Amino acid sequence: MNAERVTQELRGVLAGAGLSGSFLVRDLFTGEEIGIDPDVEFPVASLVKVPLAVAVLDRIHDGRLDGAAMIDVEPGRIAFPGPVGLSRFRHPARIAIDDLLYLSTALSDSVAADALFALVPPTEVNQTLRDAGISGIAVRNPLRDLVETPAEQFDPGDVHLAHSLAIGSRTAGRGHPIPQLDVSRANSGSARAFVDLLEALWVPVRLPSGVAAPLRSLMAHNVMRHRLAPDFSSDASKWSSKTGTLLNLRHEAGVVEHDDGGTFAIAALTESKVPAATQPAAEALMSQVARTLHDHLRAQ
C-alpha cells in the first residue's frame, strides 16, 4: 500500500471517531517522512514545556543560569490545582532549577513551568528557538493560562458543556473565542514544527549536546504513559516524549529508538468533536494512527 492510500484510510478512521489531527513521523537517519496534515497549526498546551526546557537548559549550559540555584515557590498561585505537582502543595517550597525542569517536563507540572517562565519569559524562549534555526512554534503565554478555561467553571458532571463550547466555536482560520484554543493567541505549533524540534534534540547539530542530552533524559522519564507509549514502548524500543492536553485537544510528541538502530520522531496533535473530558478510545486511536504511519515508513 502506498503512502497516499495509507494516509487516506487513516483520515477516514480518525473522522469516524470524531477526531482530526496533524501527524508526522520522520526517520531521523534518512529524513524520510509520512504525515497527515503535518503543517496545520494547533494550540499546543503542555507541549510548550519542551521549548521552555530548551531555553532554560541553554542558559544553564552557557552559564547564564545555575541549575543548582534555589527558587522559592509559593502555594496557591493558581485557582484550580492540577492532578500532580506543586499546585497541590500546601506550603512554600525551595526547589533547584534543575529539579523544576524535571517537574515541568517529566511530570508536566505547570506551576514548575511557570517558575521557569519567570526566569526565561516567552519572548526569550522564542529567541532561543530562532537562534537554533527552529521555526513554526510560537510561545506566547505562561502555563497558568491553561487552567483558566471554561472547564474550570463547571461542576465535574457538567464538564462536557465546556467541551461542547470548545468544539463548536472554532473559526475557519483556526481562531477561537476561548483564547487558549486560538492559534493567534495561544502557544501554538504544528506536527512538523515539533518533529523539527525533536530532530534538533536527537541529532544535536542545531543545539549543543549539553542542552539536547539532558532534555532527552527528561523526556525519557515522562510519567504520562497512557497515550502513544503503549504502541511505542517495548523491550526492544525506548519511547521518550511529552504530552499536551487542553479541553478537546490531545497531543504527544516523542521519539522511538529501536534496538536495531532505527530512530523515528513522531508528533500527533489531535482535536476531538466528542464532548467528553475522558476519551480512552481517542487516546488509543491516535496512538494506533501514529503507529501505522511509523510502521509504513519503517517498512520502506
The confidence band for 100, taking pLDDT boundaries of 50, 70 and 90, is very high
Mean pLDDT of 112-131: 97
CA distance readout (Å), 16 to 19, 37, 277, 285, 300: 7, 17, 18, 11, 28
* More confident site: 153 or 178: 178
Q: Give this prediction's pTM.
A: 0.92
Residue 179 has pLDDT above 80, yes or no: no
What span, in angstroms and rounded, lies between the C-alpha atoms of 84 and 92?
16
Is residue 175 predicted with pLDDT exceeding 90?
no
pLDDT at 116: 98
Residue type, 7: T
Residues 182-235: tens digit of each pLDDT: 888 899 999 999 999 999 999 989 999 999 999 999 999 999 999 999 999 999
Question: Reduced to 3 states, what is the DSSP secondary structure of residue 64?
Answer: coil
Name the burial class of residue 259, with classes exposed (0-12), middle (13-18) and buried (19+) by CB atoms within 10 angstroms of its CB. exposed
Q: Cell 505537582 appears where?
A: 85
pLDDT tens-digit series, residues 245-286: 988 899 999 999 999 999 999 999 999 888 777 889 999 999
pLDDT of residue 273: 86
Per-position b or e across 136-148, b if 16+ CB within 10 A of its CB? bbbbbbbbbbbbe
Cell (9 digits) for 22: 496533524
Which H helix or E strand runs over 241? strand 237-246
pLDDT at site 274: 82
